[in-house]
Each structure stands twice: as C-alpha cells, then as structure tokens.
A and B are shown apart, each in its own frame.
Chain A
Amino acid sequence: MKLAWEHYIGLAGLVLMAAGNAIGLFWAPPEMMMGDVGRILYVHVPAAWICMVIYLVAFAGAVASLATARPGADALVESSVEVGVLLNVLLLVLGSIFAKPTWGVWWDWDPRLTASAIMCLTFVGVMVLRAMVDDVERRASWSAVTTVLAFVNIPVTYMSVRWWRSLHQVQSSSSTMSAEMWNVLWLNTVALLLVSIWFVARRYRIARDRADQLRAPPLEVAP
C-alpha cells in the first residue's frame, strides 16, 4: 500500500520534534536569568508562530472559498481552523506554565494575553458555527466570512506587544538570543510546522469525504 504524501511529512516532523525536544531539554544551555525554566521557550514560541501561520492558511482558504465556492477551499477552512485552535490552546497553556515561574502569575489581562485568548475564542466560534449549519453551501460562505473577520485579530495579536504596554515582552530575534538557543528554537519550529501540515492534510481529507457524502444525491431505493 502506498502511503499518502502527508504521512512522510508527519514522520519527518515527529522525528525532528523528538530531536528538538531532546536537544532543548538536555543539550541547550539554561537561560541566564530563568535557568531551566527558559527551555519552555522552545515549545511556546513555535506554538505561537505556527498557530498564526495555520490561521493564515485558514484566511487564504476562506477568501478562496468565498471567491470560488470550491469545496476544497471550504475543506481547507474547516481543517486549518481546527488545527489552529489546537495550537492556540497549546500556546495558551504553555504560555501560562511559562508565566507562573517567570512573571509570578499564571495569567494577567495584558494586551498580548487578552488578544491571544480572543483569537482562540473567535476561531472556536467559527467551529461552533460550522457545527450548527447543516446546509453545505451556507456553511461554507458563513464560515468563510467569519474566518476572514476573525483573522483581523491575528496581526493585532502579533503587534500587541509593540502597540500597547504589556507584561509580555516584545518579539525576540537572533540578535536578542544566544545562537545555540535560536537554532534550537528554529529546529522545534520546523518540526511543529511539519506536524501541523500533516494534521491539516489529514483533517482536510476527512472534511472532503464528509462534504462529498452530504453533496451526493440520495440513493434511489428500489421498489
């Protein structure tokens, strides 16, 4: 049996993820001020980046779905919104675990954290909307519009640390991070990206199959 292409990407992602986590936990140096706690960076930041990338895919799918009404575009919205929410929840949980030992609190309503929570809620809203609308075409156009609108908050979330005062620090870059940490961060980011592509592709196939079943004409019953 021939494996679907996405399984190879998923396998590569899992291998890289195992390596990236092992390197992040055991090989990478502790951070000067945070010590070992700083290692959460290697999973928290990739979750944030890839979450936003996957939401960007959902946005592109939504625009394409509105413009062309192709079932494939709608399936892409369905799959990427779901995987985006999964990464969003991961982002919030990891961020909270990171925050307690460093900031001293699990949560605070600073602009970045609030925007990230809204980001999660709005895309959960898209999922709820999809679950409530049975008509395939209506579901496609409604969820495309709401996905485009929900996406407004993604640049806001990204920029929130620069636009407003916040507890969350501004984005790190290769110039604010030791090279051996930056490289581990990127390894884990690529790993999570590959795993996420795998998830979206698998979920896309399920969405296509389900939509095809709904669109198929009812079976004629023999007399």
Chain B
Amino acid sequence: MTGRPLAAIAAVAVAGAALAWIGMGDLGENLVYYWSPSELVAAGAKAHGATIRLGGQVEAGTVDWNPDTNQLKFVVTDGQEHIKVASVGAPPQMFREGIGVVVEGTIKDGQFATDRVMVKHSNEYRAPEDGEKPDIVTLSEDGP
C-alpha cells in the first residue's frame, strides 16, 4: 500500500475543525458545572427541586459546625449574593473560611441542602517559610 497524503491532510483538517468548534463555540454557555450564587438567585423558582451544584467562596465568619449533630452550616458567596448552605457530616480537611467550594444538593426551605461538599484548591503550592507550620485545619470537638 502506498501512502495517502490527502487522507492525512483530511484527517488533520477534520480534527482541527472539531477542535476549533469546541474551543470557539459557545459550549461554555451550555456546559455549566456549577452555578454561582448570583445565577442561583437570578434563576429563582427554576432552581427549585432539581439537584444542582453551587460554587463560590465560604464567607468569613459564617461557618457553624456542630459536632454533636454533625451539622455544618455556612454561607457561599460570589461577592454579590449570599446563599445559606446546610450540610451534614464533617467537610474535607481543607475546608475553611474564604476557600472555594462546590456543593451539590437542592434548595430546601430557603437553604441549599447538601451532603456533598467539595473544596476547590487554587493552583498555588507554597512551602512553609521559616518557623511556619502547614496550616491544616481539622474540625475537632472544639470547632474550626
């Protein structure tokens, strides 16, 4: 069999076109992994009932962990809107005020009820400087 340069060019062209279509198309508009608090509020009643993901920062001063009932309450914000989140179970160890989270659940009684709290990590990796210790927070009996 001899080579088929045209077939090679055609295959690469099809692949390139597909990539351009994905990259420059508005797939991002339709492929939304999580809603921001503002979008959730704007959606209003449309957001009720369905299982959705909400993403934002844990607002400082709002974390309320009750070790007796295993309930964790906090507020997720994007700087504009603030959504109360009620969750059950201890969160991941990186959970803390100000960190990014993605929570999956439904709106119930004016709150976002979730049993799946995921913590987003930034792309920063920092070594402790002299005298510093890794800042690992564990939710103990004493609270965060």
A66 to B11, CA, bound (A): 9
Other-chain contact of B125, A101, A159, A178 (Cβ < 8 Å):
A178
A23 CB, nearest partner CB in chain B, Å: 13
Question: 1/0 per position for A168-180, CB-CB distance to B under 8 A?
Answer: 0111110011101
B104 CB, nearest partner CB in chain A, Å: 8
Is the Cβ of A30 less than 8 Å from the Cβ of B128?
yes
Other-chain contact of A148, B15, B34, B117, B136 (Cβ < 8 Å):
B15
Contact residues of B with A, CB < 8 Å?
1-5, 7-8, 11-12, 14-15, 18-19, 22-23, 27-28, 31-34, 55, 91-95, 102, 116-128, 132, 134-136
Residues of A close to B118: CB separation below 8 A? 103-105, 108, 167
Is the Cβ of A149 less than 8 Å from the Cβ of B14?
yes
Is the Cβ of B15 less than 8 Å from the Cβ of A181?
no
Q: Which 5 A-B pairs have the closest CB atoms?
A: A104-B92, A29-B127, A66-B8, A67-B8, A178-B127
20 more A-B residue pairs beyond the given contacts A67-B3, A169-B120, A178-B126, with a C-beta to C-beta distance below 8 A: A30-B134, A34-B94, A63-B12, A67-B5, A69-B2, A70-B3, A102-B121, A103-B118, A104-B95, A104-B117, A111-B33, A141-B1, A148-B15, A152-B22, A164-B27, A164-B31, A172-B123, A176-B125, A177-B124, A181-B125
Between A and B, 16 residue pairs with Cβ closer than 8 Å are A29-B127, A32-B128, A33-B94, A34-B94, A63-B11, A69-B2, A104-B91, A111-B31, A148-B14, A156-B19, A159-B23, A164-B33, A165-B55, A172-B124, A177-B126, A178-B126
Closest B-chain residue to A159, C-beta based?
B23
Q: Tell me the interface secondary structure of chain B in the complex.
A: loop
Residues of A close to B27: CB separation below 8 A? 163-164
A171 to B19, CA, bound (A): 20
Residues of B close to A69: CB separation below 8 A? 1-4
A182 to B118, CA, bound (A): 26
B142 CB, nearest partner CB in chain A, Å: 20
Residues of A close to B32: CB separation below 8 A? 164-165
A151 CB, nearest partner CB in chain B, Å: 6
Residues of B close to A169: CB separation below 8 A? 120-123
Is the Cβ of A41 less than 8 Å from the Cβ of B125?
yes
Is the Cβ of B11 less than 8 Å from the Cβ of A148?
yes
Question: 1/0 per position for A134-172, CB-CB distance to B under 8 A?
Answer: 000100110011001101100110010001111101111
Is the Cβ of B11 less than 8 Å from the Cβ of A149?
yes
Other-chain contact of A165, B7, B34, B132 (Cβ < 8 Å):
B34
A164 to B27, CA, bound (A): 9
A26 CB, nearest partner CB in chain B, Å: 14
Is the Cβ of B33 less than 8 Å from the Cβ of A167?
yes
